[in-house]
Amino acid sequence: MRRDELLDAAEDLLCDQGSTALTLAAVADRAGVSKGGLLYHYGSKEALIKGMVERLIEDFDGLLAAQPGDTYTERYLSATLAAVRSGRLRRWAVVTGASGNLFLLAPLREAMARWHREELANEPDPVAAQIVRLACEGLWDVASHDPELNSEDDLQALDRRLRALIKPESA
């Protein structure tokens, strides 16, 4: 059994039944492995949650790196919209909701700080760039809890308006 399959099983369990159902036995059962097989990869529930958080960060970093754009904020906006459209954000809500332990969320806090500080001073308008990045966080949060809220037309309109904020004004 691959680590990603174990993490998928844990995320599915969280989505279907909530954080109280997240036990090593339940994850092993969902993944179709023995509890020992799960423990080989993740020695505790905390290690499993940390693995899910780290994978989410890696997924978004990969999505961000794959986006075209002249500025980091343009790529950040594109990555956020791609994540919203794909439904990937629901995983963030359930995984981060599963941990009451701030230590387990430390990698996410570090990633958020990096994503919001990255190249900010190099943006044509750093304040507008920060507004767009914060708007992405709001969209991300709302879409993770209500993925049907925004239609594709809504997302395109938001994309256009947010991009207008970060384009340098013509002289």
pLDDT tens-place string over residues 105-117: 788 889 989 999 9
**Rounded Cα gap, residues 165 and 7, in angstroms:** 38
pLDDT greater than 50 at residue 171:
no
Query: Could you tell me the end-to-end alpha-carbon distance of the chain, in angstroms, rounded to an integer?
Result: 59
Residues 37 and 120 placed together within one structural domain of the fold: no
Please report which residue ranges of 18-125 form alpha helices under DSSP H. Answer: 24-31, 35-41, 45-65, 72-86, 89-97, 106-117
pLDDT greater than 70 at residue 169:
no
**Rounded Cα gap, residues 124 and 56, in angstroms:** 29
pLDDT greater than 80 at residue 39:
yes
Residues 139 and 66 placed together within one structural domain of the fold: yes
**Rounded Cα gap, residues 153 and 42, in angstroms:** 42
DSSP at 98 = T
Residues 35 and 92 placed together within one structural domain of the fold: no
Lowest mean pLDDT among 16-25, 77-86, 113-122, 135-144: 16-25
> 56 falls in which pLDDT band (50, 70, 90)?
confident
Is 171 inside a domain boundary? no
Report the residue count for the chain: 171
Is 148 inside a domain boundary? yes
**Rounded Cα gap, residues 104 and 124, in angstroms:** 35
pLDDT at 131: 96
Residues 157 and 77 placed together within one structural domain of the fold: yes
pLDDT at 96: 66
Residues 39 and 59 placed together within one structural domain of the fold: no
For helices 126-145 and 72-86, what crossing angle results, to 10°? 10
Tokens read off for 68: 């075209």
Residues 74 and 149 placed together within one structural domain of the fold: yes
Residues 129 and 73 placed together within one structural domain of the fold: yes
Range of the domain at 151: 50-166
Is 138 inside a domain boundary? yes
Q: pLDDT > 90: what percent of the chain?
A: 52
Q: What domain count does the chain have? A: 2
pLDDT at 140: 86
> 33 falls in which pLDDT band (50, 70, 90)?
very high
Residues 82 and 5 placed together within one structural domain of the fold: no
